[in-house]
C-alpha cells in the first residue's frame, strides 16, 4: 500500500511540474508581453512596470524565480490590482466556490444514483424512459443556459429565489442546480448502465438461486459493483463542476474563484490566470489521487502493486 501511494504521489508531482512549466511557458509566449495591449502606456511607464514584475529578466530567470515561489506556495502578484496577490484572490474566492461545489455534488450524486437505480429496475418501462430522456436533456443543456432560464423563471417570474449574490442558503439553490444538472445526468446514466450490466451477471443468478430477495440482491449484490463506474466519474465530475463554476458564478455574481478567474481572463491579468490555473490543476490532480486510492478499497480485485506499475 505504502509503495503504491508513494509511487502515485511521485507521478502526481511530476504531472504538476509539467503542467506548471507548460502553463508558464504558454503565458509567456504571448507576443509582446502582457502590457502591450494597453495603448495608453508610454514606453517609460512600460519599462518601469516590466522592471517591477521582473519581466525584463531573461525567461529562464523568471521561470526559476516563479518555481521557487511556488515551492513557497506563493503565486505572485496580480498585474491588474497592484495591491492584491493571487494568494489573496484564492483565499477570498475558494471558500465560496467550495461551498457551492459541495452543494452541487450533494445534489448530483444522491439524486443521480437513485434515479439510475430506479431506471434500471424499470428497464424499458416508462420510468426508465423518463429518467433516460431527462438525463439526455441534462447533458445537452449548457450550464449557462440552464442558469439563465432558472433565473428567468425562479427569480424574475415567481420570485422564489434570489437571482444573484451570495448571502445564505437560498442564494445557493439556483446556482447549485445549474451546476448539478450535468453531473446528475451523467451519474444517473452511469448508475443505470452499471446496474443493468451487473444484474445480468452470473453471480446475480447465483444469489437468486440462494433465495436472496429482490431488495438484498440490489443492495448487497449489485450496488457496490455498479457504483464502481460512478466512482471513476468522480474525477471528471470535479473537473466539470469546476469549469462550470466559471460561468455559473459569473452569471449569479457569486464572489467565488470561478468568477475571479473569468474576470482575470477579461482583464488579461496573466499572473492571476496562470496562478489560478496552477491552483486548479493541483486541486484536481490531488483529488484524482485520492479517488484512485478510494477505488482500491471499493474493488478488491485491483491489486495495488499491479496498478502502481501501469
Partner 1 sequence: MNTELFKRVDFQLDASYDIGRPSTTYWQDVWRRLNKNKLSILGLIIISFVAIAAIAGPFFTAYSYSDQNLQIANQSPSAVHWFGTDNLGRDLLTRVLYGARISLSIGIVASMSTMIIGVLYGGIAGLSGGRVDTIMMRIIDIVWSIPFLLYVILLMVVLQPGLMNIFIALTLVYWMPMARLVRGQILSLRELEYVLAAKLVGASSWRIIIKHLIPNSFGPILITATLTIPEAIFSEAFLSYIGLGVSAPMASWGVLASEGATSLRSYPFQLFFPAAAICITMLSFNFIGDGLRDALDPRMRK
Partner 2 sequence: MQPILSVENLKVIFNTYAGTVQAVNDVSFTLHEGETIGIVGESGCGKSVTSSAIMGLIPSPPGRIASGRILFEGRDLVTMDEKSLQKIRGNQISMIFQDPMTSLNPVLTVGLQLAESFMLHQKLPKKKAMEKAVEMLKLVGIPAPETRIRQYPHQMSGGMRQRVMIAMALACNPQILIADEPTTALDVTVQAQIMELIKKLNTELSTAVILITHDLGVVAGMCSRVLVMYAGRVVESAPVNEFYANPQHPYSWGLLKSLPRPDMKSGTLESIAGQPPDLLAPPSGCAFMPRCRFAMEVCKQPPAPIKVTEDHMCRCWLLDKASPHTPVTLFKECETA
Which residues of this chain interact with partner 1, rule CB under 8 A?
Answer: 14-15, 18-19, 23, 26-27, 29-30, 133, 136-137, 139-142, 144-145, 148-149, 151-152, 156, 239-240, 242-243, 246-247, 250-251, 262, 265-266, 268, 270, 273, 277, 280-281, 284-285, 288
Vertex 288 angle, CA 176 and 140, to 5°: 40
DSSP string of 26-78, one letter each residue: HHHTSTT-TTTT-TT--HHHHHHHHHHTTTTS-HHHHHHHHHHHHHTT---B-
Q: Is residue 91 a contact point for partner 2 (CB under 8 A)? A: no
**For residue 246, how many other CB atoms are within 10 A of its CB?**
20
Nearest CA to 149 out of 111, 116, 175, 184 is that of 175
Question: Residue 164: which of partner 1, partner 2, none does it interact with, CB under 5 to 8 A by kind?
Answer: none
Q: Which is nearer to partner 1, 67 or 137 (CB)?
A: 137
Name the binder of 156 from partner 2, partner 1, none, CB < 5-8 A by kind.
partner 1
306 binds partner 2 (CB under 8 A): no
Question: Cβ 149 to partner 1, closest distance in Å?
Answer: 7
**211 touches partner 2 (CB under 8 A):** yes
What is the closest distance, in whole angstroms, from the C-beta atom of residue 90 to partner 2 in the complex? 39
| Identity of the residue, 122 or 268, whose beta carbon is nearer to partner 2 in the bound complex | 122
How many residues bind partner 2 (CB under 8 A)? The answer is: 21
Q: Which of 47, 127, 224, 236 binds partner 2 (CB under 8 A)?
A: 224
Closer residue to partner 1 (CB): 133 or 303: 133
| Dist CA 64 CA 76 (whole Å) | 13
Cβ–Cβ < 8 Å for 86, 77: yes
**Residue 211 DSSP SS3:** coil
Residue 151's binding partner out of partner 2, partner 1, none, with CB under 5 to 8 Å set by partner kind: partner 1
**257 vs 66, 215, 279, CA distance in Å?**
21, 43, 10
Residue 168 sits in the site that holds partner 2 (CB under 8 A): no
Rounded Cα distance between 160 and 157, Å, is 8
Which grid cell sits at 195?
A: 446496474
| Interface with partner 2, residue 212, by CB under 8 A | yes
Residues 6+ apart with CB under 8 A from 95: none
Check binding of 209 to partner 2 (CB under 8 A).
yes
301: contact with partner 2 by CB under 8 A: yes
**Would you say 257 and 98 are in contact if contact means Cβ atoms under 8 Å apart?**
no
Nearer to partner 1, 163 or 212 (CB): 163
Minimum CB distance to partner 2 smaller for 225 or for 264:
225
Beta bridge partners of 77: 85
- Binding residues for partner 2, rule: CB under 8 A, are 201-203, 205-214, 220-221, 224-225, 298-301
Amino acid at each position: 500500500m505504502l509503495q503504491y501511494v508513494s509511487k502515485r504521489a511521485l507521478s502526481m508531482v511530476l504531472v504538476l511540474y509539467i503542467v506548471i512549466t507548460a502553463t508558464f511557458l504558454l503565458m509567456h509566449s504571448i507576443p509582446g508581453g502582457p502590457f502591450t495591449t494597453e495603448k495608453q502606456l508610454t514606453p517609460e511607464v512600460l519599462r518601469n512596470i516590466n522592471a517591477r514584475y521582473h519581466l525584463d529578466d531573461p525567461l529562464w530567470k523568471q521561470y526559476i524565480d516563479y518555481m521557487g515561489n511556488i515551492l513557497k506556495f506563493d503565486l505572485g502578484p496580480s498585474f491588474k490590482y497592484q495591491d492584491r496577490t493571487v494568494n489573496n484572490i484564492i483565499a477570498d474566492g475558494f471558500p465560496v466556490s467550495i461551498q457551492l461545489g459541495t452543494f452541487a455534488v450533494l445534489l448530483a450524486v444522491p439524486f443521480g444514483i437513485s434515479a439510475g437505480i430506479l431506471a434500471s429496475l424499470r428497464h424499458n418501462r416508462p420510468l426508465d424512459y423518463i429518467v433516460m430522456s431527462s438525463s439526455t436533456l441534462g447533458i445537452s443543456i449548457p450550464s449557462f443556459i440552464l442558469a439563465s432560464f432558472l433565473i428567468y423563471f425562479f427569480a424574475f417570474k415567481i420570485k422564489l429565489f434570489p437571482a444573484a449574490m451570495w448571502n445564505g442558503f437560498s442564494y445557493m439553490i439556483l446556482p447549485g442546480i445549474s451546476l448539478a444538472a450535468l453531473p446528475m445526468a451523467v451519474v444517473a446514466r452511469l448508475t443505470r448502465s452499471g446496474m443493468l450490466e451487473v444484474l445480468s451477471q452470473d453471480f446475480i443468478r447465483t444469489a437468486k438461486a440462494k433465495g436472496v430477495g429482490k431488495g438484498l440482491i440490489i443492495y448487497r449484490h449489485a450496488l457496490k459493483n455498479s457504483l464502481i463506474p460512478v466512482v471513476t466519474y468522480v474525477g471528471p465530475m470535479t473537473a466539470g463542476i469546476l469549469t462550470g463554476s466559471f460561468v455559473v458564478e459569473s452569471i449569479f455574481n457569486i464572489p467565488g474563484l470561478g468568477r475571479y478567474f473569468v474576470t482575470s481572463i477579461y482583464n488579461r491579468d496573466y499572473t492571476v490566470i496562470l496562478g489560478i490555473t496552477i491552483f486548479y490543476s493541483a486541486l484536481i490532480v490531488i483529488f484524482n489521487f485520492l479517488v484512485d486510492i478510494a477505488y482500491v478499497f471499493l474493488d478488491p480485485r485491483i491489486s495495488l502493486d499491479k496498478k502502481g506499475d501501469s
